Structure 1
């Protein structure tokens, strides 16, 4: 009875400007990611309450050769998590552990090896290709659906980036990520705006124009 989630959270999604405008005008929808290496399985991905990280990601994505992000942009969304596979809640961690064991047993019976988490490149040790985690989460979602309680979303915290300072165990890209499985959880979409404080600070900066 103590596992209820906040009714509403804000999510931020980094994408291309033209695609963002199309979504705002209801001419297209958020892309539902279903790569085998996705960190939280299938869904529309958002950074929870983290506008700056979403913008940072869009900028990073735009620098990839095959990226469709040409003009980095961020959309905000008002989200209800619904029935959430929340990996910040111990009971769901326990459930995911059980799902892993069942998946492992099933694959062993078939003679199929488990997927592995791995890096995308030789110099990348962050294991960003989360094929094992993705497979386990997909399996857990399938189990929940079979039991008549399908998950609407998945939520988890990730430790990522460089230490904030020498000896720190806080890192530069720590975040909470959401994968929204049920699109009906996205109640509204908005253009993020600067806060009054940010506007005032911007106006206080001296002009560099001569």
Structure 2
């Protein structure tokens, strides 16, 4: 990471436009970095995987781990008025159709979160969003424990990152 991080819209991202970080999961971040580098190396040879360790100020975070601020109800109301025919696959596809290339393209979530951030930003600062994700495969057939689940922080403003270190893998 030579300079500042950039926020590039990526259609289908779970938490909208942001700089995505795994929360306290360096091994999961390294695994993801290797996966992305392998994918990108097909187009741009020489890309190497790396992990960025950051300290993030969560003071102005939309915390979707707790509903004391009413974010879930607000998102549900917004979704009810905005989402007609779904454009994304549901979580069941992780198990029943894991090779589908559209599996992690969460177009509706992306648009909904971006709209919610725009609305909320008119009332108060929003620097990041935190949420939990079920990802991977279940521990056993009826388990709710999935082997790649994680907490994710999507950083929306550069000033939310207090420090950072780059670790090449």
TM over 0.5: yes
Could you list the runs of 5+ residues in structure 2 that have no partner in the other structure? none
Unaligned 5+ runs, structure 1: 1-19, 23-27, 105-112, 193-210
Pairing partner for 1:134 from 110, 117, 121: 110
1:116 matched to which residue of 2?
A: 87
Residue correspondence of structure 1 range 88-127 to structure 2 within 5 A: 88-90=65-67, 91-104=70-83, 116-118=87-89, 123-124=99-100, 127=103
Q: How does 1:2-151 map to 2 (within 5 A)?
A: 20=1, 22=2, 28-64=3-39, 65-66=42-43, 70-90=47-67, 91-104=70-83, 116-118=87-89, 123-124=99-100, 127-146=103-122, 148-151=123-126
Q: Take 1:38 and 1:166, find their aligned partners in 2: how far apart are those partners? A: 27
* Equivalent-residue separation in structure 2 for 1:69 and 1:75 (angstroms): 19
**CA shift in 2, pair 1:52/1:126, >3 Å:** farther
Give the CA deviation at 1:114. 5.5
Q: What is the RMSD computed on CA atoms of the aligned residues?
A: 2.6
Which stretch of structure 1 is more off in the superposition, 94-103 or 50-59? 94-103
Q: Which residue does the alignment assign to 1:4?
A: none
What secondary structure does 1:74 align onto?
A: strand
Kindly provide the CA deviation profile for residues 91-120 of structure 1, in whole angstroms up to 9, marking residues without a partner as x: 21112112223434xxxxxxxx6561148x
The alpha-carbon distance between structure 1 residues 94 and 48, as it changes in their structure 2 partners (threshold 3 A), is: same
Structure showing greater radius of gyration is 1
State how many pairs are aligned.
157
Shift in alpha-carbon separation, 1:74–1:99, aligned structure 2, 3 A: same
1:50 Cα shift?
Answer: 0.8
Aligned match of 1:6: none
Report if aligned partners of 1:33, 1:42 keep a CA contact under 8 Å in 2: yes
TM-score (norm: length of structure 1):
0.66
Normalising by structure 2, we get a TM-score of: 0.80
